[in-house]
Structures are given as C-alpha cells and as structure tokens.
Amino acid sequence: MLRTSGSAVRINLAAMLLVCLCLSPLNTSEGWPPWLRWLVVALTAGAIMVESGFTPTALAYLADVAGQGDGRGAAMGIYTVLLGIGTALGAGLGGLLARSLAFNGLILGTVGLALVSMAALVLLPDVPS
C-alpha cells in the first residue's frame, strides 16, 4: 500500500506545485488574450481537483500504518493535533507572506511547504501488506 499511497501523495503535491505555477502568471495576466487566460484557468481547476485528494490519501496511509487496534485511535488523535498546529502555523506564515508580498507571497509559501512535504515523503515507513 505504501507505493500506492506514496505515489498518490506525490501526485497530489505535484498538482499543488502545478496550481502555483499557473496562479503566479495568472496574477499578472491582464494583457493576455481571453482564450489563453481561460486555458490556464481550466488547467488550474483540473490541478486543484487532483490536489484535493491529498487529505484522503494521507488519512488512508495513516490508517494503514496504524493498523487495527489501540494504535489507530492514538494515530488519528496525533493527526488531528498536527493538523490543527499546521493550520495555525500556515495561517500565521500566510499572513506574514501576504503582508509583505501580497498574493505572490501566498504562492511562494505554498511552493515552499509543498517542497518540504515532498522531501518528508522519504521518511515515511513501509506499510505491511
């Protein structure tokens, strides 16, 4: 299952990077022809749909790692706490970046966090089949 989950998470994170790659030029696309702008918007929308699979994939991976029994509840509790901490830190970091770099700061922060997440995937343990 690890290969499937790990690959799915990598695909989700790659889609996140694609969204950022599309949003950055769209932010300054006022001189573009409408057809090109709409093409990039459609590509962005598709990448957002792929990117949205990150949380269910991560939860499925966590459930597989925890297995059955007492460890499962503890693993889900830890996930919930870390999700809350990540949300708070992300909002704080996003606020600082938005204040200094506006929308481009949010894009830059998202790219940075996606790259850190991709590097952290190497640390994931194997899931017993």
CA distance 110 to 90: 9
Count of CB atoms situated within 10 Å of the CB of 93 = 15
* Residue corresponding to tokens 């932010």: 27
Looking at this protein, which amino acid is placed at residue 129?
S
Average pLDDT value for residue range 64-88: 79
CA distance 108 to 73: 35
Per-residue pLDDT at 42: 97
pLDDT digits (tens, 9 = 90+) for 2-60: 455 678 888 999 999 999 999 999 998 999 999 999 999 999 999 999 999 888 887 77
CA distance 13 to 111: 9
Looking at this protein, which amino acid is placed at residue 120?
A
Question: Quick one: tokens of 125?
Answer: 């343990």
Per-residue pLDDT at 100: 95
Local structure of 34: helix, strand or coil: helix
The reported pTM is: 0.81
- Residue 5 has φ and ψ, to the nearest 5°, of -65, -45
